[in-house]
Structure 1
Amino acid sequence: MSAASKNATVTVDGKTRYHEPAPAHIDVEAFRQTVISRRSVRKFTATPIPQAVLDDCLDMALLAPCSSGLQPWEFYVVRTPAKKAKLVKACMSQLAAKTAAELIVCVARTDRVEEFSRKMLREWPMPDVPKLVQRYYQLIPYNYAPGPLNSFAVVKKAAFAVGGLVAAVPRGPYTSAEVRLWAAKSTALACENLVLAFRAHGFDTCMMEGFDEVRVRKLLGLPDEAFTVMVIGAGERADDGVFWPQIRFERELFVHEV
């Protein structure tokens, strides 16, 4: 075991476990203000975003939680003027796209499950990969493979349905659509990290779902197994960049104790 690993271990029930203490003294009020002040900004100033800020925000986006650590996301920062002009048009020429200092296309990938499963085993952060972990990542590519015309998905769904009669079992993702949903969920978490990071740096964003996906796909040369989750416009908020006060419905509609 390396020196670094020894410094990050603790003994629990007689067994050596990895230990990463939770950081103390995080400013909750500062985080609250970051969340509260995040708005969908529809108009930006001409002020550029410093490269160091952009890189830091993207790096924080990549720290988002993700299913099985497979990180099924990509971020395309569209800088080339001709491509940026085409992207604006693909975003229906909405003001948030036209005035943004940066346009970032957030893409989910479903074709790198096997590759990244192997990568997880190669880059496992501890000296030894537990047998259970090895087996888990060896099986993941099969679990997430729908097969031609979802043929594998049908078989797996039936098998797990039978198993589910006697024990709790995972109920997917089986089909191609379910795998896309799986990738989209993790990518959306990274998008949230990204916009909050911009806000913490004093910049604002607009998470746009109004775009022509076919044109965006063609612009970026995306493979069939990749799809755009959203386009994020980022920049400095104009004085009239927020069009109206935020509307949120009653808490009771969404929060339940059961």
Structure 2
Amino acid sequence: MDYYNPSEFKKLVHARRSVRKYTSEKIPDHVVHECLDMALLAPNSSNLQQWEFYRITTPAIKEQIAFACFSQSAAKTASELIVCVARRDTWREHSKQMLAEFKKLPVETPKVALTYYGKLVPFVYTVGWFNVLTPFKWLLNTILGLFKVVPREPISSFGLKVWAAKSVALACENLMLAFRAHGYDTCPMEGFDSKRVKSILGLPCKADIVMIISAGKRDEGGVYGPRMRFPREQFIKTV
């Protein structure tokens, strides 16, 4: 099978738009599940898979989430609402899970991989209660950085939040492109009351909502205008 078709991928990327209004057409369950599976195939930091996706199917909860999104039409008219969450507190559990998965492989796992998940991951991502280890890690990185290349981030809970959010954002793009490939549209929403949404879903404090993605069949007027991008020279640099 030929997986290399840049022209088709270009069409898909150009076809994806943020849609603010959907028709009443529902997205079949199997399509939603397939799109979510595509999201889970996104690249992520150290394969620690620090994401969770909450598909809102209960009408009452969906109404609450839409209200927490300031009742914007992209949320109210959507067939699907998916809350995309970054977990900065699951790395320890998932690193142990990786070690367990290695044991199931038919080939011997390289020692460097076992050392990475068994020793390096706990060192890199542990920040301590109330970031008590942050100043010590900063000092260590600063001194060692004078003589060698060192990982500078994350060294705090804020750094872990950014670290986890980057992987979730990659998965979100997979999710939106997957919906577009099936003929449906999406809107990645940042306009929401995060505290209210976390309360509705019962999320812990170390779970951070990266975005809420609505999905459905594009309605007339659902796209507000032509895509606008600034000159590419403003952003793409050659050094």
Q: TM-score, normalised to structure 2's length? A: 0.96
Aligned partners of 2:236, 2:151: CA distance in 1, in Å? 25
Query: How does 1:1-258 map onto structure 2 within 5 Å?
Result: 24-124=2-102, 125=105, 127-139=107-119, 140-258=121-239
* Cα shift at 1:150: 1.2
One-letter amino acid of the counterpart of residue 162, structure 1: I
More deviation, 84-93/148-157 = 148-157
More deviation, 137-146/61-70 = 137-146
Aligned partners of 1:24, 1:204: CA distance in 2, in Å? 26
| Distance change (3 Å), C-alpha of 1:25 and 1:102 | closer
C-alpha offsets along residues 220-253 of structure 1, whole Å, 9 cap, x if unaligned?
0001110111000000001211011111000001
* Cα shift at 1:141: 2.1
Alignment RMSD (CA, Å): 1.1
Larger of the two Rg values belongs to structure:
1
C-alpha offsets along residues 134-162 of structure 1, whole Å, 9 cap, x if unaligned?
11111212311111221212111111111
Aligned partners of 1:209, 1:127: CA distance in 2, in Å? 44
| Distance change (3 Å), C-alpha of 1:148 and 1:197 | same
Structure 2 unaligned regions, length at least 5:
none
Aligned partners of 2:64, 2:218: CA distance in 1, in Å? 23
Residue 133 of structure 2: SS of its match in structure 1? helix
Aligned partners of 2:2, 2:73: CA distance in 1, in Å? 41
Q: TM-score, normalised to structure 1's length? A: 0.89
C-alpha offsets along residues 179-224 of structure 1, whole Å, 9 cap, x if unaligned?
0000000000000000000001100000000000011000100011
Q: How many residues align?
A: 236
- Does the aligned pair in 2 maintain the 1:173–1:179 contact within 8 Å? yes
* Cα shift at 1:25: 4.5
| Distance change (3 Å), C-alpha of 1:212 and 1:25 | closer
One-letter amino acid of the counterpart of residue 59, structure 2: P
* Cα shift at 1:40: 0.4
One-letter amino acid of the counterpart of residue 107, structure 2: P
Residue 85 of structure 2: SS of its match in structure 1? strand
* Cα shift at 1:102: 0.4
* Cα shift at 1:43: 0.3
| Distance change (3 Å), C-alpha of 1:225 and 1:135 | same
Aligned partners of 1:25, 1:103: CA distance in 2, in Å? 30
